Structure 1
Amino acid sequence: MAYNIENYLNNPLIHRDRRLSQSPSAWVRSFSCEELKPLIVCRGPIRKEAMDVYDEMGITHYGILLSEKDSIVYPNALSPELRKLTDNSRVHRVPDYSGASKEERVERIGQIIGIAKDNGYNAIFAGYGFMAEDDEFVAAIEEAGLNFIGPCSGTQRAAGKKDEAKRTALQVNVSVTPGIDNVTARTLVKNYSTRDSLVSLAKSKDLACDEKVLADESLTLEALADHILFASYDKGIDLFTVEELCAQVQAECAEMFKNYPGARIRLKAIGGGGGKGQRILGASLLVTKEPTQEQIDAAAADAPSLVREILSEVKANGVGDNKNVLIELNIEQTRHNEIQLLGNGEWCIALGGRDCSLQMHEQKLLEISVTQEALATEIDKAKKASLDAQAKALESDLTVLKRMEEESERFGQAVGLDSASTFECIVDGERHYFMEVNTRIQVEHRVTELVYSLKFTNPDDENDFFIVESLVEAMALLAMHKERLPRPERLLRFGAAAEARLNATDDSLSPAAGGMINYWSAPIDGEIRDDQGICLANPDSGHFMKYKVAGAYDSNLALLLTKGEDREQSYNHLSRVLRSTTLRGTDLATNLEFHDGLVNWFLANNVMAKPTTRFVVPYLTMVGKLKEEANKVDVVYAFVKMKKHFIKMYGDDPDVGKAVSEALDRKGTLLTRPMERLLADPHLLSGWLSWNKKNFKFQDGKVVWKRNPLGVLCETYEYLHMAWDPKKPAAEVIWSHDHELLENALTFYRELRTKLGLGIEQFVELNDIIQKDEPQLGYDEEMWKQIQSAHFGFEIGNELLGLLFMIAEKTGFYELRVEDDLEVVIPEYLHDPELQAAMKKVLVPPPATKEDEVVTPGGGMYYAQEAPGMPPFVTEGMHFEKGQPLFILEVMKMFNKIPAPFSGTIDEILIDGGDGTIVAKGQPIFKVTPDEKFVDVDPKEFERLRQETTAEFLSTVL
């Protein structure tokens, strides 16, 4: 239903301020939340956002909870929100938010509730941290008489645990991924295979089971086992060992591999999220249509170690913890779509979708809005442009989106959803499968806020209503006025929105903790930046304050959001945001350039493309190939060689030779500076090559320009954020003499095109006309010669830019493309794990090390064994093979097994890290004796090869 904005603006009863208490409408005033006194027990951008929203709502008594890692452990990592919240009585501390063990978690829950009660808070908000989905935490809050701003404990139990959610989905006719959701019950039944033995077990352990359930013979053994297991969790005891669970998972995986040949399996902790607690196994079977039993057994043999990793990662390996793990078919060519839900326990409304397919290591990177209105508009545009395949593909998406929204609302009502949650699905062509429900607000929730607002209308007066544009505000309203809130109407705000997660990761997207942010440029017009307060200036001096990127948390630094009338406009705006952002620091690595290259790749190909969750790694591998070739090109050497080439070509006439030399000297830095920048950053090169695919062609093995390279050069300076700006340091922009030369050239060609009636893309025609001996356009012979001379001077040497296209040709860059039906074509070789690993090292070379040492690839927490109680990966005197796990490095919540870079023998272990030790990047861990002697690359030989490759490339552009 269309929304009349004029009625909204002119109606005196409508209150646009978030302080509903100030509304002239008594009905609207009744929904004021100023009596809410929340304690914010989360961190990151959502904590700062909640503080801002509560301020705007008139909520004055709120506080924040810090862990010791926020305020003590990491220098300069002090929570930046404290620059705003200077009242120390509203800042509280606990050793750790959730604790390292079950006992510590229970202790922490008690401490948090005690802090709330002792300081006059009547509600708790947990944002999108893991505590937001802890049903025991929420139940304790409710029992203490406090309000939880989020789904209630009943909803948390029914939807927050992945196994329970999957069972509920099946009951309400929601499509689910094939797999097993009760492997713990099957493990128990393996040991107690009869009803009598299970009941005897429950009684012998004195478990508080329901006698009716124990006596119900209609229940399956597995359902009975589930009931008994939940009673064991309440008592805090284990009924099977981790080894027995691992063996059962291994057996189940082997059976699934047999039933789904050529597929991989995904293992997921029921309480994971944000990429944690998930592993995939079976890569070796991807290309095997009829695997042998030996191959199946070998693939399934990886399951036990992965299960242990998962349980450790989500802290579910303690006595009495629910250790259930979902075993699911991994849908390979899939997109990750999710539906934003909001409910009050009686009604449930879907607020459109978000495509989160662009992710890596199960961590989302770029999220975009998906709405019925936007898809309908794009379908109409495609049909008008006779893009039939694209229109058909978008119509399929619209059908799937409608189905997902319908199912999500049905599911939300089934679990009594009474706050914000997200219904996550994987989409495979025209099919979709329910994955899980996140019973909390999502990191990417603002993507939805930008496309939809909520209109709450008085049931007795349709002209009496208020508008909510924040999901954080909606959650507060639901916490205070749940049953009274009428089902809202969703109103379209903007046509599309996009969010890039700015993370502390290196060029290969591996977490990079420990860096210091020394400077961060201010947001540009229209940029929405959620940076958790890092950019808040020093309240005394007004200057930027240094910020340490701590390794204890996830890698996210900020969320960069943009909006637009359609997806292309939002992407274009995001591109401007990314290239306008300057981040400087010490040992600082971010994915800023990655996003810049990726967004421009889609802008140049098709923003409506349908990448799958398997896109980013092959794309990153291609970017690594770009860097590998770029490393072989010496631009200064190429320029000097090109200059010699042209002087020799025109050397018969000393005056012409001199003019050629002077012209090239004037253009040296104009050409080489942006090229060196592109060659140094493969992510930027990826975006540049994508945009300029239409501006050249290969003809007879030579690069031929279809457009004036000077225009491309001008756009390149803008693309690199190096356009002329007299206020900026010279090192950051085009130099003044280069700017003057480029502007003179562009003015010259603009006037000629105007007189000839040619467009900017008709460079070939323009060049042909200028080459004619007979004067054109009524010019006399002398003026025509001056025009030809100016054209020669402006164009000579521009061939150098063509070297960049040779890198694209050499790497097969343009083979990665988008088809007419919006499917992304990924060359098969980019899926090769060995190539992917090699290109990762090209993007981020390993730390310099001695040949008799193994060092850490980055900073983080070092563990010598797979899980507590397990033997260490290696011991002194032990021989290891290349690729064998040597230790675990926990970086920003992710557990990474570090493989041996070569084969050798452990001579000495330099660190005792069995229980976890903080290490720095490049820190020696082992003294070793390699099996083979390392041979260093001769720098002179490397330079010779570099010049040889440069000369080879140059021959194709001259």
Structure 2
Amino acid sequence: MFDRILIANRGEIACRVMETARAMGVGTVAVYSDADTGAKHVAMADVAVHIGGSAPAESYLRGDVIIQAALDTGCRAIHPGYGFLSENPEFVEAVEAAGLVFIGPSAQAIRAMGLKDAAKALMVEAGVPVVPGYHGTEQDDALLAEEAGEIGYPVLIKAVAGGGGKGMRLVERAGDFTAALASARGEAQTAFGNADVLVEKFVSQPRHIEVQVFGDGTRAVHLFERDCSLQRRHQKVIEEAPAPGMTQEMRAAMGAAAVRAAEAIGYAGAGTVEFIVDGAGGLSPDGFFFMEMNTRLQVEHPVTEAITGVDLVEWQLRVAAGEGLPLTQEQLTITGHAFEARLYAEDVPAGFLPATGTLSHLRFPDGARADSGVRAGDTISPFYDPMIAKVIVHGPTRAVALKRLSAALRGTKVGGTVTNLAFLGALAGHAGFGRGDVDTGLIARDLEALTEVPGVAPRHLAVAGMAALNLFELSDMAGFTLWQPLRRSVSLISQDERYDLTVEVLSPVRQRWDVAGREVWAERRGDLWQVDGVPQPSVALDKRVVTVFDHYGLTFEVVDPLDQAAGAAGDGNLIEAPMPGLVKAIDATPGQSVAQGDRLAVLEAMKMEHGLLAARDGVVAEVLAKAGDQVEAGAALIRLEAEA
């Protein structure tokens, strides 16, 4: 076994690998960027090496610097985690050329599965079923349109390189194909440096079911399936294992196909074979098709660990160190059911926009596994994926596990940034999901209900006001006199609505609030406050932001009475950056006439591109930024002429 390994990654997965390595007595070396100087994974490691600037291209994608760090710190192997360099065959070759071990598959195996079209041709040879479609190298627009017509609409355009939903477009009519093709190619070129696409038949009631495989370079086993059908924008949200409705016959067929895929490329280490499954009429052994193989550990691997009792990172280290497969196929069994929910810093009502912020409060409930790369006090950076944690639960049955997931999400508390926690809670309580009626279109069909903003009650406002005015511990109030009631006021903003509150402190244990004309009483009983007759939920205050931990967390901004900022941006004249990011493109020029909804700029933030659209018809007056600019949230990019 290795004495010391370097983890060529950051955040949650770096911490996850370190936990297993520590349990095995293996030393760890972390690498970090400028933005990650005080990060959790840096603190956890035995040794940490600075490798460059905050942008991934200046740090976590610098393979040569990472390899040198491994050599300088006496490491024998490098674990890539997932993302960044984990599926880069040139990096694998460079690691091995330096005399180090890459904890993962060979460069040859990664290349074999790196391009979707070539991978599918290989799978056909291996006897693995694939979706009908065009996977050829010819990329002429007219040819692709002709192939789409022969396949039959609806079709799916997919980038041949990469994943994560980038470079993917659903086309339901022939008339939309040309525009969708151009859009998919542009995104694929930006994300992967390769604009080539393939075209496939779109399965109308698709389920995304994947099989965990593990190989030693010669033989492979499967560790059963995961259902990842709950997706938005082709990104997984909640995963579970095993898949609901799975039969033993279909499990055996999918598992055998996944093993054939792994053995066809001499796969070593952990990998995932992803299948699109036709969910219409239930699952059947002839209704699944190969999509792609991820030649790395997956984000959702904890649910497989939960039902099998296997530590997949331990297996990775053991096989990379020259050991054989720890268990045979016959020795692997399923126990119970598991769910994983991905908790992100993102503004759900604003269209799931990634968010930043400093985590003033972060707590996970007992009884749930929380894989996280951040702590209270850490900052969600605009340079990386905004994941806060993965919340994982296990139970003897699916129904019990789902109840435990709901309870775990209700018990998770995050302050300092907006999150998708309420959205996850709504999904966990969705009736169809509870029955196991899942497909990749569930979220889109029920998006309005799932993203309904929790209501703010007068008691929530009163609690937020108590926190803002520091009225929980009255001994801290300067000038308080027991015999003279004290009047205070505060203004709060929640969900773009302003609330003006006043309070009369009648005694150290009694307050009367006026909340938009509604009287709310707060009374202290023992160590707890009752507000409007309800026990006061816990709160977190960070500068001018109050988080009330009810309904998965309600956020209130405390209005500074001295703040005289004008609201000029609210009239539709300014197109502003909704978050910190890189200006990838400016599509407007001064004097240009634009219509409402026209794309005026593209902002890249947190590994995604966001089109910034005109809020109204008008004429461009000024272009205030250029491609390549790094801008802060709220930065003015384009100004339209004032309406007459």
Return the TM-score normalized by structure 1.
0.54
User: Contact conserved, 1:450 with 1:493, CA < 8 A, in 2?
Assistant: no
Question: Quick one: structure 1 residues 323 and 54, their matched pair in 2 at CA, closer, same or farther if it must change by over 3 Å?
Answer: same
> What are the equivalent positions in structure 2 for 1:156-305 lying under 5 Å apart?
156-183=110-137, 186-187=138-139, 248=140, 250-270=141-161, 272-275=162-165, 277-283=166-172, 285=173, 295=175, 298-305=176-183
C-alpha displacement of 1:96:
6.4
Matched with 1:306 is: 184
Question: Quick one: structure 1 residues 546 and 486, their matched pair in 2 at CA, closer, same or farther if it must change by over 3 Å?
Answer: closer
Distance 1:565 1:323 in 2: 46
Question: Quick one: structure 1 residues 451 and 260, their matched pair in 2 at CA, closer, same or farther if it must change by over 3 Å?
Answer: same
C-alpha displacement of 1:525:
2.5
C-alpha displacement of 1:263:
0.5
Matched with 2:42 is: 82
Q: Which one has the bigger strand percentage? A: 2
Distance 2:323 2:96 in 1: 15
Matched with 2:320 is: 479
Distance 2:458 2:48 in 1: 58
Distance 1:494 1:848 in 2: 59
Match of 2:628 among 904, 915, 923: 915
Summarize deviations over 1:286-342 as a string: whole Å, max 9, x none: xxxxx5xxx2xx53134224312211122x1xxxxx554333333232111100001
Distance 1:419 1:350 in 2: 12
Matched with 1:601 is: 430
Matched with 2:616 is: 902
What is the one-letter code of the residue matched to 1:58? G
Summarize deviations over 1:823-844 as a string: whole Å, max 9, x none: xxxxxxxxxxxxxxxxxxxxxx
Question: Quick one: structure 1 residues 37 and 133, their matched pair in 2 at CA, closer, same or farther if it must change by over 3 Å?
Answer: same
> RMSD over aligned Cα, in angstroms?
3.1
What is the one-letter code of the residue matched to 1:512? P
Task: Tell me, yes or no, if structure 1 residue 134 matches structure 2 residue 104.
Answer: no
> What are the equivalent positions in structure 2 for 1:373-392 lying under 5 Å apart?
none
Distance 1:269 1:612 in 2: 23
Task: Tell me, yes or no, if structure 1 residue 505 matches structure 2 residue 346.
Answer: yes
Distance 1:174 1:416 in 2: 16
Matched with 1:875 is: 589
Question: Quick one: structure 1 residues 302 and 596, their matched pair in 2 at CA, closer, same or farther if it must change by over 3 Å?
Answer: closer
Larger radius of gyration, structure 1 or 2? 1
What is the one-letter code of the residue matched to 1:447? V
What is the one-letter code of the residue matched to 1:475? Q
Match of 1:574 among 383, 401, 405: 405
Task: Tell me, yes or no, if structure 1 residue 452 matches structure 2 residue 308.
Answer: yes
Question: Quick one: structure 1 residues 128 and 344, their matched pair in 2 at CA, closer, same or farther if it must change by over 3 Å?
Answer: same
Return the TM-score normalized by structure 2.
0.78
User: Contact conserved, 1:70 with 1:79, CA < 8 A, in 2?
Assistant: yes
Match of 2:29 among 44, 51, 63: 63
Match of 1:409 among 249, 259, 265: 259
Matched with 1:99 is: 57
User: Contact conserved, 1:497 with 1:567, CA < 8 A, in 2?
Assistant: yes
Question: Quick one: structure 1 residues 119 and 623, their matched pair in 2 at CA, closer, same or farther if it must change by over 3 Å?
Answer: closer
User: Contact conserved, 2:134 with 2:147, CA < 8 A, in 1?
Assistant: no
Distance 2:593 2:213 in 1: 54
User: Contact conserved, 1:43 with 1:129, CA < 8 A, in 2?
Assistant: no
Segments of 4+ moved more than 6 angstroms? 633-636
What is the one-letter code of the residue matched to 2:640? V
Distance 2:302 2:327 in 1: 22
Task: Tell me, yes or no, if structure 1 residue 855 matches structure 2 residue 567.
Answer: no
Distance 2:144 2:345 in 1: 35
Summarize deviations over 1:1-25 as a string: whole Å, max 9, x none: xxxxxxxxxxxxxxxxxxxxxxxxx
Match of 2:8 among 41, 50, 55: 41
Q: How many residues align?
A: 547
Distance 1:444 1:729 in 2: 40
Distance 1:726 1:857 in 2: 48
Match of 2:367 among 526, 533, 536: 526
Match of 2:202 among 316, 330, 337: 330
User: Contact conserved, 2:592 with 2:620, CA < 8 A, in 1?
Assistant: yes
Question: Quick one: structure 1 residues 730 and 168, their matched pair in 2 at CA, closer, same or farther if it must change by over 3 Å?
Answer: farther
The SS at the match of 1:911 is coil
Distance 1:927 1:680 in 2: 25
Match of 2:66 among 98, 108, 112: 112
Question: Quick one: structure 1 residues 281 and 906, their matched pair in 2 at CA, closer, same or farther if it must change by over 3 Å?
Answer: farther
Matched with 1:516 is: 358
Distance 2:43 2:115 in 1: 37
What is the one-letter code of the residue matched to 2:423? F
What is the one-letter code of the residue matched to 1:138? V
Question: Quick one: structure 1 residues 904 and 725, their matched pair in 2 at CA, closer, same or farther if it must change by over 3 Å?
Answer: farther
Q: Which one has the bigger helix percentage? A: 1
Matched with 1:5 is: none
Aligned sequence identity (%)? 29
Summarize deviations over 1:625-666 as a string: whole Å, max 9, x none: x559x79x9999xxxxxxxxxxxxxxxxxxxxxxxxxxxxxx
Summarize deviations over 1:40-94 as a string: whole Å, max 9, x none: 011121100111111100112x2011123323xxxxxx31223334x5x533423
Match of 2:377 among 546, 553, 576: 546
Question: Quick one: structure 1 residues 300 and 594, their matched pair in 2 at CA, closer, same or farther if it must change by over 3 Å?
Answer: same
C-alpha displacement of 1:36:
3.7
Distance 2:631 2:190 in 1: 17
User: Contact conserved, 2:593 with 2:618, CA < 8 A, in 1?
Assistant: yes
Higher relative contact order (CA 8 A, sep 6+): 1
Question: Quick one: structure 1 residues 129 and 925, their matched pair in 2 at CA, closer, same or farther if it must change by over 3 Å?
Answer: same
User: Contact conserved, 1:511 with 1:892, CA < 8 A, in 2?
Assistant: no
What is the one-letter code of the residue matched to 1:273? G
User: Contact conserved, 2:56 with 2:383, CA < 8 A, in 1?
Assistant: no
User: Contact conserved, 1:452 with 1:490, CA < 8 A, in 2?
Assistant: no
Query: Which ranges of structure 2 fall in alignment gaps of 5 or more residues?
Result: 461-493, 497-523, 537-566
Matched with 2:273 is: 423
Distance 1:915 1:337 in 2: 39
Query: Which ranges of structure 1 fall in alignment gaps of 5 or more residues?
Result: 1-32, 72-77, 188-247, 286-290, 317-321, 376-393, 454-468, 536-544, 637-678, 682-723, 737-846, 866-871, 934-958
User: Contact conserved, 1:253 with 1:265, CA < 8 A, in 2?
Assistant: no
The SS at the match of 1:131 is coil
Distance 2:217 2:185 in 1: 35
C-alpha displacement of 1:98:
5.9
What is the one-letter code of the residue matched to 2:636? P
Distance 2:147 2:331 in 1: 42
